[in-house]
Amino acid sequence: MLETFETVAKAVADPSRIRILKLLEASELCVCQITTVLDLAPATISKHLSALKVAGLVQQRRDGKWVYYRLAERELNAYARSFLALLGGVLADDPAITEDRRVLAQINAVPLQVLCDQGRAALRPDAQAREPSTCCGGPS
């Protein structure tokens, strides 16, 4: 039991992972949306999402070439729900969380394919006119 608790505790001990969990409180997000909000390398986001998934805090689904994450709905770890409940009641007024939500609102106005291709550059007014090339994924 202690090992299971430790897995969840370590997963939520990283500020970037907390930011991801706070983003997922509102809705399911594609990996490229998370990458764009946090403005981190896709490999870094993938590593964070893997740790959250192993801890039972998030679940993923694949839809074509996109991978979506959401807060865990199934009990994959006996402690995950308690940690998610605690996190749900805190940090609403944190400046980083507030900024993440502001950026997410901008991102939600951009077509997913454009966002996956261009990241934060897609938030510029002229960005949506560019040609798409590839897409995103996440840990399997």
> Which two three-digit tokens encode residue 1?
């039991």
What pLDDT score does 131 carry? 43
> Beta strands of the chain (E only): which ranges?
29-30, 58-63, 66-71
Please provide the average confidence, as pLDDT, over all residues in the chain: 88
Q: Is residue 12 situated within a structural domain? A: yes
pLDDT in tens, 11-34: 999 999 999 999 999 999 999 999
Query: At 136, is the pLDDT very low, low, confident or very high (cuts 50, 70, 90)?
Result: low
Considering only residues 98 and 133, tell me which one the structure prediction assigns the higher pLDDT. Answer: 98
Q: Please indicate, yes or no, if residue 6 is contained in any of the structural domains.
A: yes
Inter-residue contact 112 to 30 (CB < 8 Å): yes
- The confidence score (pLDDT) of residue 137 equals 56
Domain presence at residue 44 = yes
Query: Does 139 fall in a domain?
Result: no
Q: What is the mean pLDDT of residues 36-43?
A: 94
Q: Strand, coil or helix: what is 138?
A: coil
133 pLDDT band (50/70/90 cuts)?
Answer: very low
* Inside any domain, residue 136: no
Residue 59: beta bridge partners? Answer: 70
Which CATH number fits the domain that encloses residue 76?
Answer: 1.10.10.10
In this structure, what token pair is assigned to residue 136? 């995103």
Q: Is residue 138 part of a domain?
A: no
How do residues 69-113 score in pLDDT, each as one tens digit?
Answer: 999 987 778 899 899 999 998 998 999 999 999 999 999 999 999
How many CB atoms are closer than 10 A to CB 112?
17
Number of domains the chain is built from: 1
Residue ranges making up the domain that contains 83:
2-129
